[in-house]
Amino acid sequence: NAGVTQTPKFRILKIGQSMTLQCTQDMNHNYMYWYRQDPGMGLKLIYYSVGAGITDKGEVPNGYNVSRSTTEDFPLRLELAAPSQTSVYFCASSPDKSSYEQYFGPGTRLTVT
Amino acid sequence: AQSVTQLDSQVPVFEEAPVELRCNYSSSVSVYLFWYVQYPNQGLQLLLKYLSGSTLVESINGFEAEFNKSQTSFHLRKPSVHISDTAEYFCAVRPIYNQGGKLIFGQGTELSVKP
């Protein structure tokens, strides 16, 4: 049981490039989340999904897109990368709204230069 | 809207000393409260949570937190820390009636335990 896995672990992008951060969970969780973590700022929610085909914006969605075609996968797309998107990105999952714990992946460290 | 403030960004302590990490929150609705821990180069893990009932909650590794409704606080304490407790600790809240189970995190407190 791998839990929540994220790829890649590290990535350097040039300004204006695009990329997809991958997130997969094998726990059959309905709820999935994308956060970004910046030093001294805690974690901010980018997007979340309550099931396949259903996504919604979080606190800081600008510059990102998501899709949820399967229960297992929740990729995060960055279009036209900007230096402000330099951050550590965490994916998390939760069984449903009655569960009080989110399970986090190991993170992706992204640098945009 | 909700907000969470962790009053200390860094807390250095010596091994076997007691420690308190402070967390205050603001919310116009009732919330659940959580402490998550992030060890170096890892994702976050749930440390403990307050949902209802006794205001003092404990974790399996000796941490405890007390919910104080009048002071809107949820401070984390441990009477004697170990080197292995070195990590970043995040306080978080979640409105009870919250579609999507979204968490609002504080800024984090870096606990550094020295020998």
pLDDT digits 0-9 by tens, A41-91: 889 999 999 999 999 999 999 999 999 999 999 999 998 999 999 999 999
> Cα-atom radius of gyration of chain A, to the nearest Å?
13
Look at B90 and A43 and tell me if their CB atoms are within 8 Å: yes
Q: Is the pLDDT of residue B100 over 80?
A: no
Token pair of A68 as six digits:
């949820």
Residues B20-69: pLDDT tens digits?
Answer: 999 999 999 999 999 999 998 888 999 999 998 889 999 988 999 999 99
Per-residue pLDDT band at B77 (split at 50, 70, 90): very high
Beta pairing, strands B109-114 & B10-14: parallel
Q: Is B44 on the interface with A (CB under 8 A)?
A: yes
Q: What is the per-residue pLDDT for A60?
A: 95
Q: What is the per-residue pLDDT for A1?
A: 66
What is the enclosing helix (H) or strand (E) of A60?
Answer: none
Looking at the partner chain, which of A42, A50, A97 has a beta carbon nearest the beta carbon of B106?
Answer: A42
C-alpha span between B18 and A37 (Å, rounded): 28
Contact predicate B81/B13, CB 8 Å: yes
In a mutational test of the A interface, the residue from B91, B103, B104, B107 whose CB has the highest number of chain A CBs within 10 Å is B103
In a mutational test of the A interface, the residue from B107, B109, B110 whose CB has the highest number of chain A CBs within 10 Å is B107
Q: Is the pLDDT of residue A106 over 70?
A: yes
